[in-house]
């Protein structure tokens, strides 16, 4: 009988802990900022600065974030994938700086249009609306955040 009671208590606390981890992974906040690193012959290289904030008192295990940039549904660049797990302590934040290499100029012409690409290559300022999709895993649970960012190229 004592084994059943002890097992029930352990199951209760384990379930409560797992429920708290699930809620914590859903309340994480991600913010993405983009900057132009350089415009070269191979395309546009951007820097994505991602801030992940943990407003919970529970520490979280986070996979290294991945960023995909889209313009009108077409992917124009993404960061590299890293197989790395990081710790994010409770009530804290971490910032990541990622390089995003765009697709080549031919793909950019197809996605953005020849007129916009010509302005970018000639050095004129062009406002470009991008959808930044940040993907990661928080305690093994997939996390994705989408933000619309206007970038001056």
CA distance linking residue 11 with residue 120, whole number of Å: 60
pLDDT at 29: 86
DSSP class of 58:
S
* Number of domains making up the chain: 1
pLDDT at 133: 94
Q: Is 126 helix (H, G, I), strand (E, B) or coil?
A: coil
> What is the model's pLDDT at position 97?
92
Contact 72, 111 (CB under 8 A): yes
Question: What is the span of the domain harbouring residue 12?
Answer: 2-152
Q: What is the pLDDT of residue 25?
A: 55
The pLDDT score that the predictor gives to residue 67 is 94
- What burial letters (b/e) apply to 10-28, b meaning 16+ CB within 10 Å? eeeeeeeeeeebeebbeeb
Ranges of the chain whose pLDDT falls below 50 = none
CATH, residue 122: 2.60.40.10
From residue 25, how far is each of 61, 137, 144 by CA, in Å?
Answer: 9, 9, 11
- What average pLDDT does the chain have? 85
Which pLDDT value is given to residue 60?
Answer: 84
CA nearest neighbour of 88 among 34, 47, 143: 143
Q: What is the pLDDT of residue 19?
A: 64
Say whether pTM exceeds 0.75. Answer: yes
Model pLDDT for residues 29-59, shown as the tens digit of each residue? 889 999 988 888 888 899 999 999 988 888 8
């Amino acid at each position: 009988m004592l084994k059943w009671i002890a097992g029930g208590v352990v199951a209760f606390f384990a379930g409560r802990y797992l429920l708290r981890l699930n809620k914590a992974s859903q309340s994480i906040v991600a913010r993405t900022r983009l900057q132009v690193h350089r415009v070269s012959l191979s395309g546009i290289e951007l820097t994505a600065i991602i801030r992940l904030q943990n407003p919970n008192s529970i520490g979280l295990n986070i996979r290294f974030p991945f960023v995909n940039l889209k313009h009108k549904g077409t992917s124009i660049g993404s960061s590299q994938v890293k197989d790395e797990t990081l710790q994010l302590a409770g009530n804290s934040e971490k910032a990541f700086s990622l390089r995003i290499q765009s697709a080549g100029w031919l793909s950019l012409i197809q996605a953005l249009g020849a007129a916009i690409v010509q302005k970018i290559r000639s050095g004129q300022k062009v406002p470009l609306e991008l959808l930044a999709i940040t993907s990661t895993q928080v305690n093994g649970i997939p996390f994705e955040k989408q933000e619309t960012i206007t970038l001056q190229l």
